[in-house]
Amino acid sequence: MTPRVPLGAPDKLTFLLSLVPYLIDHDGISVTDVAAHFGVAPERVRDAVTLIAVSGVPGDTSQYLPGDLFDIEWGQFEADDTIVLTHLVAIEDSPRFSAREAAALIAGLQYLSSLPENADRDAIASLMAKLSRSATAAPSQLAVSARTSGDAISLIQSALRSGVQVRFDYLNARGGQEERYVDPLRVESVDRDWYLRGWCHLRGAVRTFRLDRMSALTVTDRPVTSRTEELVLPETLFQGSESDLDVVVELAAGALPLLGDYLSGRPVQHLAGDLVRATLRVSHYHALKRLVAGLSGVVTVVEPAAAREIVRAWADAGAARYSEPAAPSAPAGPGE
């Protein structure tokens, strides 16, 4: 995954310091292979190699004489686009991690330990200890609790490896239960929420499913039918569709991040004080009612009136359960 952010000098310096030991270990490697390995454009590798080849130390004369500089086989570099270091200066080995870099990796590992294939806690612990010793300073105390995500991920992974579909019952936000056959493409997560992205045979399209909304998940013997290598997964988990509905809500500006995935790209309108009006995009109002009822006192739906009413009725039905007699009967859900 190539980052799209512009790279600053710290990134470029890290690249230079990492490239030297890699080139030492891979004598005569081509520019394109290096680029593929580091996930960068070939041009960046050429620029870096060119800079390394003219860099070095001031030396005894403080004049950066040829013996004080790195050197490469220029002919091979220019004619064949391959890299051979012929003279080395000052560094040979990979740099250590900074305290924060090591901390980011350790926290990432703790998070990944909830994946079934990383269930070996001892292996993870020994890897974390190695990272701590590979950092210049004690890694920052960042920690992430790993929640075991159940069997779903193992089942999906085995289907992915065997090239077969998975089958499960899936509740949509309206409360309807549907049987789905899906070609699994990727398991994704955001914090503790895990998702399957795959080709849904019911909808004939790529869809995202919450793992915790699936029941009776099984690995089938039906081979996948989609050509997964031809399917391009969009970067974001959720994509808008033509039929999405716009909803205007009011909230404090500071609470906007809570709506992350639902916010439309449209600019927010600032009201008195800290209040803003923002536009959400939802697939239908039944997804909205769950979102808004979970953000009590934070978000209020302004329009359309139909959306306000569905939210009101949902909360009203919820509240009504507390005035029921001791043995409550199943209340009729609103809206269906």
Closest Cα to residue 142, out of 110, 183, 184, 165? Answer: 110
Of residues 55, 76, 82, 154, which one binds another protein by CB under 8 A? 55
Of residues 29, 131, 245, 268, which one binds another protein by CB under 8 A? 131
Residue 160 contacts another protein per CB under 8 A:
yes
CB contact set of 229 (below 8 Å; sequence gap of 6+): none
Complex with another protein: residue 202 or 320, whichever CB lies closer: 320
Shortest distance, position 133 Cβ to another protein, whole Å: 6
- Cis before residue 116, ω within 30 degrees of 0? no
Residue 326 contacts another protein per CB under 8 A:
no
Complex with another protein: residue 79 or 280, whichever CB lies closer: 280
Strands 82-83 and 29-30: antiparallel
Residue 293 contacts another protein per CB under 8 A:
yes
Residue 25 contacts another protein per CB under 8 A:
yes
The contact mask relative to another protein for 306-325 (x = CB under 8 A, - = no) is --xx-xx-xxxxxxxxx-x-
DSSP string computed for 170-237: EE-TTS-EEEEEEEEEEEEEETTEEEEEEEETTTTEEEEEEGGGEEEEEEEEEEP-S-GGGPPPPSSS
Complex with another protein: residue 200 or 301, whichever CB lies closer: 301
Of residues 31, 53, 102, 247, which one binds another protein by CB under 8 A? 102
Complex with another protein: residue 79 or 132, whichever CB lies closer: 132
Complex with another protein: residue 272 or 330, whichever CB lies closer: 330
Residue 155 contacts another protein per CB under 8 A:
no
The CA radius of gyration of the chain, in Å to the nearest whole number, is 27
Residue 119 contacts another protein per CB under 8 A:
no
Residue 262 contacts another protein per CB under 8 A:
no
Q: How remote is the C-alpha of 165 from its chain's centroid?
A: 24
Angle between helices 121-133 and 99-112 (to 10 degrees): 170
The pair of structure tokens assigned to 52 is 């390394």
Residue 261 contacts another protein per CB under 8 A:
no
The 3-state secondary structure of 19-41 reads HHHHHHHCCCEEHHHHHHHHCCC
Pick out residues in 172-211 that bind another protein (CB under 8 A). Answer: 173, 175, 177, 184-193, 210
Complex with another protein: residue 24 or 84, whichever CB lies closer: 24
CA distance readout (Å), 278 to 13, 50, 231, 265: 41, 50, 33, 9
Of residues 41, 51, 65, 231, which one binds another protein by CB under 8 A? 51
Residue 163 contacts another protein per CB under 8 A:
no
Q: How many CB atoms lie within 10 A of CB 324?
A: 10
- Cis before residue 58, ω within 30 degrees of 0? no
The contact mask relative to another protein for 27-46 (x = CB under 8 A, - = no) is ---------xxxx-------
